[in-house]
Structures are given as C-alpha cells and as structure tokens.
Structure 1
C-alpha cells in the first residue's frame, strides 16, 4: 500500500494545474452606463465620465466622480444604482471586498427594474461573499441569480458552477457544469477541467471514471488526463485498467519526460508486470531521458529481481554501485550473489556493506558474509563474521544458530 500511495501522489500532482485552470472565471468588465431614457442627460454624462475613469484605472478620480454622482442625483434611483454598481466594481478592483459588497447591496436595495444590472450584481456579490468565506450567503445569492435567469445559457451555468464550487457545494456545481457541457456544441476545455477538479475535491472516483474517458476523447493529447484516469483506476483497485491506460499514453508518445517514465515503471512494478518496468527503464536510460543515477539503476535492478532475471539484476546493481550507490546497494548485490552461489564475488560487496554504521544493514551483511565464507570452505572466517554479527540484535539469534552449528560440525569432525 505504501507503493500505491506514493504512486497516487505523483499521479495526482497534475491536478494542481487543472484546478487553477478550472477556477478561472470571466474578468468583470466596467459596468455599462444606463441609456438616457432611464436617467437624465446630466446623470448620463456624469456616469459616462466615471466609467471612462474606471476604464483608464484612474481609481481616485473615479471614486470622487462616483461620490459626486451619488450626491447630485439622489432623486434618480436608476442613476444611483448605476453609480453604486460602478463603486462596487472599483472596490473589487482595489481589493476592498467588504466595501464592494456594501456597494452591491445598495444596488439591490434600490430595486431598480433592470434585470441585467440586478443579475450582474447578484453574481458579483456572490463572488465577493465566497472570497469572504461567507459560503451560505454566497449560495443564497447565486441561487437567486439562477432562479431569475431565463433560458440559462451554458456559459451562465459555468459561471454559477464556479460560485457553487468555491462554496464547496460540489453536487450543485457539478450539475450545472454537466448541463453546460451537454448543451454546448463545443464545450471549452476549461469547463471539463473544472468538472474534474470538482469531482476530485468531492473524492467522487466513480464520476471521474465516467467523465475522464469523455475528456480524453475530446483532448487526447493532454497526458494529465490519462495519468489522472490511471490513478482513478488504482483508487478503485482496477489495476489492469490503470496499467492499460498509462500504457496507451506511453505508446501514443505522450509520456516522454523522465519523471513520467519513472512513474510508468513504478506502476508496472506495482501491478506485477516487472518485465515491462525493466524494459521501460532500460529504454529511458539508453535514450538518456532519465539520468544514469544510482537510484535509477537500483530501480532497474528491483524490476529484474521481481522478473526473476538475476543476471540482469546483478548487472544493474553493479552499474548502481559505479554511479555512487551506498551500503544498501552493496548489501543487495552481495545478497543476490550469495543466492547465485558466487561466494568470492559476494564477499567484496558484503564487506563494504558491513562497514556501515547502520545496524540493520551491517548485521545482515555480516550474517551473509559468514554464510558465504562457510559455503566457500573458510570456517574460521565464517566464525569471525558470525561473532561480529552477534553484536546486532536483529540477527543475533541467527548468528548464534550458525555458531552452534559450526561448533557441532567441528566437534563431529574432531571425533
């Protein structure tokens, strides 16, 4: 399970990028100036000047202009509503969310008969409430926005989904997004990305399993989707599908970076396909897509060991040592050479491993060193190694057993 956890962590990292892309919402535009039949000519002129200042990002001048509109045209509700809406936009741009929210609330309190303005204010204020962690109020505001919308367009559903997503109302957010995707002739890739991010945050593996093949069909050249689908199959304990999915991405030329190839090899190992893991690593080393490091050669050796290709594993461990591998690699190589009954070759590597201060490695190395010496017809060297091995609690009982056996053998020979 530890190997699975490490693999899933590596596979899910691309979700960070997906989540960022999914949370991109449409940037707010400067509110429009009402037409003259709705406001007086003087109010229209004053609002137009304030709008121009906002577009030019002359914030202080715009704030003064809007304050003047609110003071001069207090008897024109529509002009007041437009000014407060612009003020809400200004405060939002200046990162003053509390003041922006109060400005938008003033627009709603005026109850002007302009559904476009009202809907814009509802949506913008829902965003602000979400940014202030007032999720319940944000949901109420966006619920009102949805209820007032007629014939909701796919783009509007996406906007609503973003608010619900931010408020952690995942089921509602996903519902709007799915409807938007199904209704749109060509859904934007960011819509799919947001949907995947929602289901990942909701830990809904079944939904990810359903939608990822759809996303892959639409965008087959994005390796992140293949990697995510593979990790979902692993979560669902569908290991064969996990391997098949990532293998398809590999054979389609999507996994070309060293880290991707290492992930692929580890998945093969986890799924019990060590020959493919070894071949993937060999090809990556040969093409220099992964470094000729001790760790990578050790992983190659582990693959060959699982595949029961001991000779190839020995060669890989020798390369790992040449690349700077430490006592662990020496112990692995010595252990393997003992299994292959290559006593003299094993002795050199086991002596190196026995010199480490790490108890587990040193103790096992001395025990194996004694066994190799005994099998090689050197009982005195074997006794010396087993005596030293007794100093390590992890192998003391085995060392004592060997020392007893040696004493009995010598006694029998002497008699």
Structure 2
C-alpha cells in the first residue's frame, strides 16, 4: 500500500479551490483596469479559452507593481488557471509567489495556504506541503476530516508512519462516517511499523464495517499466524469460509469465536464497538453476549453496566439475579440488594432458592441481621441451597453469641 494513487489526491483539489474575487476592505482594492482585466480572464477561463487567458494574465503580472496586492491577486488567479488545466506544479509556483508577497488579506492568505498545501502534496513535495498544512491547521480549529486525511497521506509517503496514524485517527474521530480507505491507510501505517496488535484492531473494524471483503479476513488470519497464534488464525480462516459475508451475524460469530478461543476481552470490545456503531442491534441477546464476554474477561464493572441495561428487557428475574451475583463477587453488598429484591419479585416461587440465600448473605453484610435470618430460613425450603443456607444461619447465630458475650 506504499504507493498511493496520486490522481485521487489531485482530484480533490479543484473542488476546494475558491476564486479570489470578493468584496474587500479599502486596503485591498483593485484598480479599474486590473479588475476589468481579471474579469475578462475569468470569463475566458469559464469558456475554456485557457491559452488566451494565460497569456492575458502573464501580461497583467508585468503591468502590476512588484510586491503589490494587485500583483498577488493576478498570481493567485493564474494559479487557479493552472489548477483547472491540471498543471499542478505551475499552479503551486504561482500560489507560492502570491503568498510570498504577503500582500493578501488574512482570510485569503489562510485559504490559499491550504490550497497550496494540497498542490504541493499532490506534486510529491510532501515535506513542504506538510509544513504548510500544519501551519494552516494551527489557525483552523474546526478543520474537516479531509485535511487530516491529506496530512496522514503525506506523512505516510515520507515514512513518518506514527504521525500518519495520529493524523488519520483524528480524521476518523471527526467524521460520522469514516471512509474505508482511511482505515486502510491506518492499517498500512501500523503494518509498516510492525504494530501487529494495532493492525488486528483496525482489521476488526474493517471486518465489522465491510464483512464482504475477504481480503480483510485473510489479513487477520495471517496476522494471528505471524504472532504464532495458529489456532486463532485457523479459526478465523474456517469462520470466513463458513460465513455468508452478507450476513448481519458476522460480527456476533466473530465475537463468539474470540470467546471460544479464550480471548473474551477482544470479544467484548468487538461487540461493544459494533453496537456503538449501529452495526448490530442493542437487543437482549446481543447485550447478554456482551455481558458474558465482560464477565469472562473479569471486567465486572463493565458487565454490571450491561446487565443493568438488560434488566428492563427481562421479566423472568434471571438478569436481576445475575447482576446481583456480580455485585456480590465484587463485595458490593449494598448494590446487590436492589437486583435481589427485583429477582424475588419476578422469579417463580419454585426458583427463588438462590435469591433467598443470596439475599440472606447480603443482608448479613449490610447489618440487617433480622432480615438476613428470615431470608436464610426461606432458603432452607430449597434443596439446592439448603446446606449453604444452614451454614450461614449457624454463622449468623455464632456472630450473635459473640456479640452477647462481649
């Protein structure tokens, strides 16, 4: 991917170029003769009479005062003519001369600086274009993504891959719908730096967004093989062969594969990002997979957030009980009390044993000894938790005895 298509860069330039004619302050007035000559040249350009317009503008350059505002505007206009006729090196030369005069209004200078940066990069004068583009960005806090894509492309071409990654990440973050080619550029830069983990992350995004492209699956499998994760590599290859690449379940199956291969954190990351990006639905089933992945990765805090969101989707009480168990494993006893109460209200009578027993434990830890005893006694009616409930009741009684003896 080192050789990028120069034509693609250049084709974006003309759409961004703005004609210099505008209402200006008194400090930036054209003489009537110069104004009329520029208008005539522009009309010829609109009629594609470029040779005549070029000759007229070159003559007009010599008729204007050296270093003047008029000279700068004529040079700028000549630059636009060369841009329209795809003579980009000549266009850049005219723009450079116009800027060097330091005679144009600040807003015009600012826009011209960006136009010149594009032309320089399109003409393979990357470092000069980068310097100018960075200068422009300092004064353009609301720059759109395309400027950062251009900067990333230029950095990539001069082998400054880390800066290319930084610039393309900024472009992606600033755009609601990042283009596939932007991710490909980021991937190429990571690969050049042999940053294989980061490359895998980018490939997963590409697979998530563009699952029909088999190349990304092949690259992902190859990267896992590169890292001696041959089982994972083989699994990716097998999954890619079995998948209907237009299937919406592609991401879910890939996430399930990661969990099967004991890489639950990556499974959770993939599911979370896919939901955030709207690639897969944030429904109960997918949220359950996400929660299970976070739990398998021992990311309990993340799991509780997902389970809490699932509570309103589940009337069975099982999700409430599951959330309570996670809080208990974190020894967050107060947080477990609410979900346990909700589970007791929703679960069928014959399935409340676990909830009664856990509620007895939680109440013990928050100091509600009487309620703890009541709930543990309720748990005794259920064979699957009877022994555990009995042990807790004995512990509770011993605690009381110790307090009475103290």
- Partner of residue 28 from structure 1, selected from 10, 14, 30: 14
The alpha-carbon distance between structure 1 residues 21 and 239, as it changes in their structure 2 partners (threshold 3 A), is farther
1:211 equivalenced with 2:202 (yes/no)? yes
User: Contact conserved, 2:145 with 2:172, CA < 8 A, in 1?
Assistant: yes
The alpha-carbon distance between structure 1 residues 115 and 195, as it changes in their structure 2 partners (threshold 3 A), is farther
Q: Within 1, Cα distance between the matches of 2:197 and 2:63?
A: 59
- Alpha-carbon offset, residue 174 of structure 1: 1.3
The alpha-carbon distance between structure 1 residues 200 and 43, as it changes in their structure 2 partners (threshold 3 A), is farther
The alpha-carbon distance between structure 1 residues 50 and 166, as it changes in their structure 2 partners (threshold 3 A), is farther
**Structure 1 gaps, min length 5:** 1-14, 256-415
Q: Over aligned residue pairs, what C-alpha RMSD do you find? A: 3.4
Q: How does 1:151-190 map to 2 (within 5 A)?
A: 151-190=142-181
- Partner of residue 235 from structure 1, selected from 219, 222, 226: 226
The alpha-carbon distance between structure 1 residues 254 and 203, as it changes in their structure 2 partners (threshold 3 A), is same
Q: Which moved more, 1:70-79 or 1:183-192?
A: 70-79
- Alpha-carbon offset, residue 119 of structure 1: 3.7
The alpha-carbon distance between structure 1 residues 57 and 237, as it changes in their structure 2 partners (threshold 3 A), is farther
Q: How does 1:141-156 map to 2 (within 5 A)?
A: 141-156=132-147
User: Contact conserved, 2:2 with 2:157, CA < 8 A, in 1?
Assistant: no
User: Contact conserved, 1:21 with 1:194, CA < 8 A, in 2?
Assistant: no
Q: After superposition, give the CA deviation of every residue in 1:265-320 in whole Å (9 maximum; x if it has no partner).
A: xxxxxxxxxxxxxxxxxxxxxxxxxxxxxxxxxxxxxxxxxxxxxxxxxxxxxxxx
**Residue 5 of structure 1 corresponds to which residue in structure 2?**
none
- Partner of residue 253 from structure 1, selected from 244, 247, 250: 244
**Structure 2 gaps, min length 5:** 247-406
- Alpha-carbon offset, residue 101 of structure 1: 3.4
User: Contact conserved, 1:39 with 1:76, CA < 8 A, in 2?
Assistant: no
Q: Within 2, Cα distance between the matches of 1:166 and 1:21?
A: 11
Aligned residues: 240
User: Contact conserved, 2:155 with 2:161, CA < 8 A, in 1?
Assistant: yes
**Residue 350 of structure 2 corresponds to which residue in structure 1?**
none
1:65 equivalenced with 2:56 (yes/no)? yes
The alpha-carbon distance between structure 1 residues 96 and 229, as it changes in their structure 2 partners (threshold 3 A), is same
User: Contact conserved, 1:129 with 1:138, CA < 8 A, in 2?
Assistant: yes
Q: Within 2, Cα distance between the matches of 1:252 and 1:177?
A: 31
- Alpha-carbon offset, residue 128 of structure 1: 4.6
- Alpha-carbon offset, residue 226 of structure 1: 1.9
The alpha-carbon distance between structure 1 residues 82 and 208, as it changes in their structure 2 partners (threshold 3 A), is farther
Q: How does 1:389-408 map to 2 (within 5 A)?
A: none
For residue 27 of structure 1, give the secondary structure of its aligned residue in structure 2.
helix
- Partner of residue 197 from structure 1, selected from 188, 192, 196: 188
- Alpha-carbon offset, residue 55 of structure 1: 4.6
- Alpha-carbon offset, residue 181 of structure 1: 1.0
Q: Within 1, Cα distance between the matches of 2:165 and 2:55?
A: 42
- Alpha-carbon offset, residue 92 of structure 1: 4.8
The alpha-carbon distance between structure 1 residues 178 and 229, as it changes in their structure 2 partners (threshold 3 A), is same
- Alpha-carbon offset, residue 32 of structure 1: 0.8
Q: How does 1:310-321 map to 2 (within 5 A)?
A: none
The alpha-carbon distance between structure 1 residues 236 and 159, as it changes in their structure 2 partners (threshold 3 A), is same
1:88 equivalenced with 2:79 (yes/no)? yes
Higher relative contact order (CA 8 A, sep 6+): 1
**Residue 102 of structure 1 corresponds to which residue in structure 2?**
93
**Residue 140 of structure 1 corresponds to which residue in structure 2?**
131
Q: Within 2, Cα distance between the matches of 1:98 and 1:22?
A: 14
- Alpha-carbon offset, residue 121 of structure 1: 3.4
- Alpha-carbon offset, residue 230 of structure 1: 2.0
For residue 28 of structure 1, give the secondary structure of its aligned residue in structure 2.
helix
User: Contact conserved, 2:117 with 2:129, CA < 8 A, in 1?
Assistant: yes
1:74 equivalenced with 2:60 (yes/no)? no
